[in-house]
Structure 1
């Protein structure tokens, strides 16, 4: 059983996610805005947070950044939105979001994302425990996440953004985007990395990649050629 925080301003979505996750045996807390989410985060240690992007007081990306800058992004955060853009995805990923769920959220996608997030949370907890044991000081301060300086930054504390542990390895590790370039180039870079990840995971199977990405095969082929994705290499790797 895991402690999960669901942050969404829509009552129906909060109730639906809570019901599904409770049925899976998890303990679920609910917050309808960023203020309630902050208070819940201060009083409880969560294994996972489901965070809506568009909220009336403070948007989810701003809250994610706030947690990251305060060193409070110690759990995987899954962003949720029905209107997310590539630019939003790039920004949230850079800050430390674990993954995205597009609304309306199906139960299958929800449970898969939660399972992956909790697996990462458990791995991070084990790594932290091993590091503490290795230092021989169980009461010492927790190891802090490494800092990444924004492109073109000065290296000062103000320019640094904490990098979440789950971004150091795994499927998001290769997405070190250079945001100091035209929007179209940044978007193409994100999309190319996205499709290469799915091609590698599915062993180069275009049928399975089409299902995963929600694209028709003909459109998918055209998109991959446009982005310059090496299909032969992904098939060989698969």
Structure 2
């Protein structure tokens, strides 16, 4: 199985993640701050890192930048936070994080993210090519109004949870137009579900005039009845 480094300043979070992942057969290494994580990475390379963003000494994004700049970001890193913002998640993905999990992390989301992370082949740091921020902002990677609606950020096909009952996977190794359409379709389906199929409220939330919205949904092939069946409260 894998060696997973869990970096979090909260003892309870470290203990819980260690227990869950140890039960899955993984070897777990723990660090309560960036200094300990940095020291461990100097000694060896874990197969996966679960990295908290908000820590008292050096925050997780800054540590991620250090690893990237020093050629040590050769393992998948999943960021975690209970107080994250969209901008913070975008910054982490730009640097090279493969996913973003919001606390409290459900067992299913944790195991799924870890499984997907471990399935990724290790890459030399020099070949890591994060998506440009313009692509992340303009083509629907982040859906919903806050990080409370985002379970994981999709990077190179990693799953992104669009809400408590919906999950999508995106393959980004495709023409930009196709990728954009896939993201936009998921974005509108999310809002239709959240607003129980109300076109008026979806138009308000997305900032589109109703006629334009109908035209856009038809173009993307969105099932307008889906929202009423899978409403997110």
Shorter-chain TM-score: which interval? 0.5 to 0.7
**1:109 and 2:95 equivalent?**
no
RMSD of the alignment, in Å?
Answer: 3.5
- What is the CA distance between 1:177 and its match in structure 2? 1.9
Q: Residue deviations 1:90-113, cap 9 Å, x none?
A: 111110011111011111110011
**1:97 and 2:78 equivalent?**
no
Name which of 180, 193, 196 aligns with 2:141. 193
Indicate the residue corresponding to 2:45 in structure 1. 45
Indicate the residue corresponding to 1:221 in structure 2. 202
Q: Confirm or deny: 8 A CA contact 2:51 2:79 kept in the other structure.
A: yes
**d(CA) in 2 for partners of 1:45, 1:110:** 21
Structure 2, gaps ≥5 residues long: 144-153, 155-161, 171-181, 223-233
Indicate the residue corresponding to 1:61 in structure 2. 61
Choose between structure 1 and 2: higher helix proportion: 1
Q: Structure 1 residues 11, 191: closer, same or farther in 2, change over 3 A?
A: farther
- What is the CA distance between 1:86 and its match in structure 2? 1.0
- SS of aligned partner of 1:101: strand
Q: Structure 1 residues 63, 190: closer, same or farther in 2, change over 3 A?
A: farther
- SS of aligned partner of 2:39: helix
**d(CA) in 2 for partners of 1:113, 1:223:** 33
TM-score by length of 1: 0.64
Indicate the residue corresponding to 2:8 in structure 1. 8
Q: Residue deviations 1:90-145, cap 9 Å, x none?
A: 1111100111110111111100111111111xxx23xx6xxxxxxxxxxxxxx552
Indicate the residue corresponding to 2:225 in structure 1. none
**d(CA) in 2 for partners of 1:176, 1:76:** 18
**d(CA) in 2 for partners of 1:190, 1:207:** 14
**d(CA) in 2 for partners of 1:69, 1:113:** 25
**1:145 and 2:101 equivalent?**
no
- What is the CA distance between 1:88 and its match in structure 2? 0.4
Q: Confirm or deny: 8 A CA contact 1:200 1:234 kept in the other structure.
A: no
